[in-house]
Amino acid sequence: MSDSPGTPPVAPAKPAAADFEQAAAQGESKVAAFDASHRGGLARLQHFLHANPTMVPVLVLAVSIAVFGLMLGSRFFSPQTLNFILQQVTIVAIIGVAQTLVIITAGIDLSVGAIAVLSSVVMGQFAVNLGLPTPLAIACGLAVGLCCGLINGFLVAKLKLPPFIVTLGTWSIFLAANFIYSANETIRARDISDAAPLLQFFGTTFRIAGATFTYGAVLMVVLVIVVFYILNNTAWGRHVYALGDDADAARLSGIATTRTLISVYAVAGLICGLAGWALIGRIGSVSPTSGQEANIQSITAVVIGGTSLFGGRGSVFGTLIGALIVGVFAMGLRIWGTDPQWTQLTVGALIILSVAADQWIRKVSA
C-alpha cells in the first residue's frame, strides 16, 4: 500500500545485530587465496623459454651439430669445416647484429646489405682510385654507413614513416648510389693489396690448434660481446628494449624515444659500414654487386636466433647462433651431397618454425 500524500516514507526495518551474527556464523570462513599453480611439463618449458629466449636456438644448434656429426663423422668435425662455417657466417652475423638492434625496437631495416656494400665501395674508391690514406678512406666509409643509418632513423622516428617502407626505399637509393658511384666496376684484389692492403685486414688468417681463423671472425665475436654488454648493462640498451616492448609506455616513463630510435638506426648503419670493411677482406676485392642477399640473410639469422619481430625481446648472441645454425645446415647438407635447393628449403622451414615458436612462447605473457 502506498503512503498518503504529505506522509514521509517509512524506512525499511533494519535487521537486528543478531541477524548479522547468525549470517556471519553460517558464511564461508576461509580466507581468500589464489588457486594453486599446477604447471605441467610443457607449461614449465614454455615459461623457461620465455625467460631464456636464447635457449631455443642453442638447442637447435646443438641438435643440428649432433645429427650432422652422426651422419658425416670426422668430415663434419674437421678444422677445415669449422673454418668454412665461420667464414661463411661472418658477414651475415655482423650485419645481423645491426638488424637485431632495429628489430628489438619493433622495426626492420631492409637496407643493411646496401649500406655495407656502399661503404665498401667508398673505402675502395677513396683508397685505391683517389689515393687517400687507407685509414682516412676507412673512416669515410664508416661515416657513409653512419649517415645512411641517420637518414633511416630520421625518416622513421621524426616523420613517423613505417620502417619497412622507409628502408625498402633507401635500399633502392643506396644500391643505385653504389652502382652510379662505382660505375659498376670492380676494384681487383691485386690493386687493393698493392695500394691499400689494410682494406683486406679482416681476411688475414691465423692458426689455433690446427684450425684456421680470420680476423673477420674475431671482429664478429668481439662485436657481439660489446653490443650484448651495451644492451644489457647501459641505460641506452634498456631504453632500446623498453622502446620495442611498448613505445607509449617508454615515452610516458621519460625515455626520449625519438632520439633513442634515431640512434639505433645510426648505430646499425655504422655496424653495416664495419661489415663493408670486413666484406672486402672476405672476398679480397671491392665489388658493387656483392652482398646482394645480405639483408634477407641477416633477417633470417635474427629470426632463427630468437629475436621477436614484434620487438622488445631478443639477443645478439641469439643472432650469432642463428647465423651459425644456417651455416651448419648449409655446410652439412653440402658435405652430404644434397642439392643446394635443399638448403633453402631447410632454412625456410626453420624461419617458419622459429616464428611459430616465438608466438607460442609469447603466450606466457598474454
Contact 357, 307 (CB under 8 A): no
Q: HEC states along 102-130?
A: HHHCCCCCCCHHHHHHHHHHHHHHHHHHC
Terminal C-alpha separation, the chain: 56
Q: What is the pLDDT of residue 350?
A: 81
- Residue 166's Cα: distance from chain center in Å? 18
Q: What is the pLDDT of residue 59?
A: 86
Compute CA distances 257 → 253, 261, 304, whole Å. Answer: 10, 6, 27
Strands, DSSP E only, in 121-261? 205-208, 211-214
Of 23-37, 69-83, 107-121, 345-359, least confident by mean pLDDT is: 23-37
pLDDT, tens digit (0-9, with 9 covering 90-100), for 29-59:
655 555 555 567 778 877 887 777 778 888 8
Is the pLDDT assigned to residue 366 strictly greater than 60? no
For residue 129, the one-letter residue type is N
Confidence grade of residue 3 (pLDDT, cut at 50, 70, 90): very low
What cell numbers appear for 89 in the block? 657466417
Is the pLDDT assigned to residue 79 strictly greater than 90? no
DSSP, residue by residue, 32-80:
P-PPPP---HHHHHHHHHHH-TTHHHHHHHHHHHHHHHHHHGGGTSSHH
- CA gap 202, 264 in Å, rounded: 25
For residue 109, the one-letter residue type is D
Q: What is the largest CA-CA distance in the chain?
A: 115
Compute CA distances 50 → 13, 30, 109, 172, 216, whole Å. Answer: 58, 35, 25, 37, 33
Q: What is the pLDDT of residue 2?
A: 44
136 or 332: whose pLDDT is higher?
136
- pTM score, whole prediction: 0.83
Q: What is the pLDDT of residue 306?
A: 85
What cell numbers appear for 64 in the block? 643440428
Confidence grade of residue 82 (pLDDT, cut at 50, 70, 90): confident
Contact 355, 309 (CB under 8 A): yes
pLDDT, tens digit (0-9, with 9 covering 90-100), for 309-356:
888 888 999 999 999 998 888 888 888 888 878 888 888 888 888 878
Q: Using DSSP, state whether 215 is helix, strand or coil.
A: helix
Q: Average per-residue pLDDT in the chain? A: 86
- CA gap 242, 232 in Å, rounded: 12
Is the pLDDT assigned to residue 150 strictly greater than 80? yes
Q: What is the pLDDT of residue 1?
A: 42
Of 37-51, 93-107, 186-200, least confident by mean pLDDT is: 37-51
pLDDT, tens digit (0-9, with 9 covering 90-100), for 225-272:
999 999 999 999 999 999 999 999 999 999 999 999 999 999 999 999
